[in-house]
Amino acid sequence: MTSQLLLLSNSHAPGLRPLEHVWSTIDEFLGDNRTLYFAPYAINDYDGYTQQTQEALQPLGVTVIGLHTVANPQQELELAGALFVGGGNSFRLLKKLQELNLLETVRRRVESGALRYMGSSAGSNMACPSLRTTNDMPIVQPSSFAAFGLIPFQLNPHYVDADPRFVYMGETRERRIQEFLEENDVPVLGLREGAWLRRQGQQLRLEGVAGARLMRRAAEAQEFTPGSDLSWLLEVPAQFDTLQ
């Protein structure tokens, strides 16, 4: 397997234009692929979102093509070299991907190494086996929670630690993930802002300027810093709906 993945926690960083904080990595990731197909389905304004992405990647000499502008997105992705799935609402995104019958096409081509997959936020969630560890409100109802399954574990982008200075009576992010782990025996990697994952075949590394927190059932949470080798996570089996 020669899967090429770039999974970002966030596409915006303070004081920078969209994706600027990860330009060098995107440039390396795309290689000779200077045409990038873009799935804008997590946000309602497809045209505006695609234009914003085109402007963000223009300095890299990348041409962005919105999948919503092509007659047959499934057929187009059979020939594409690189796909970027943008952030927004994960439920809306997954529902549209299902309606367009893109899940199997993308999964097959990414796993074969023919299609490079880049995701941000909700787009990174889509690389997981399931939607279940998203932060989003279910504003629409997908036919199932099953996503692309390009990695065998779950992500939680935009992961934030509880701030002891503030009184908050709801569940913290970590508590919500612990609830997930009570029902599912699947590792969850919380990606903090400024962090991303880079997969090259069976190698997986945490990169960026921030770390990540790994939570597993019946185990202490682990902290990882940028540069950490997380390839072993690709070998951990995912077991859903296994009540603890």
State the catalytic residues: 121, 136, 158
CA dist 227 and 209 (Å) reads 10
Helices within 78-209 (DSSP H only): 90-99, 103-112, 122-125, 173-183
SS3 239: strand
- Burial class of residue 91 in the structure, from the number of CB atoms within 10 Å of its CB (0-12 exposed, 13-18 middle, 19+ buried): buried
CA dist 5 and 229 (Å) reads 15
CB-side neighbour CA atoms (13 Å) of 233: 26
Closest CA to 155 of 92, 212, 220, 227: 212
CA dist 68 and 46 (Å) reads 7
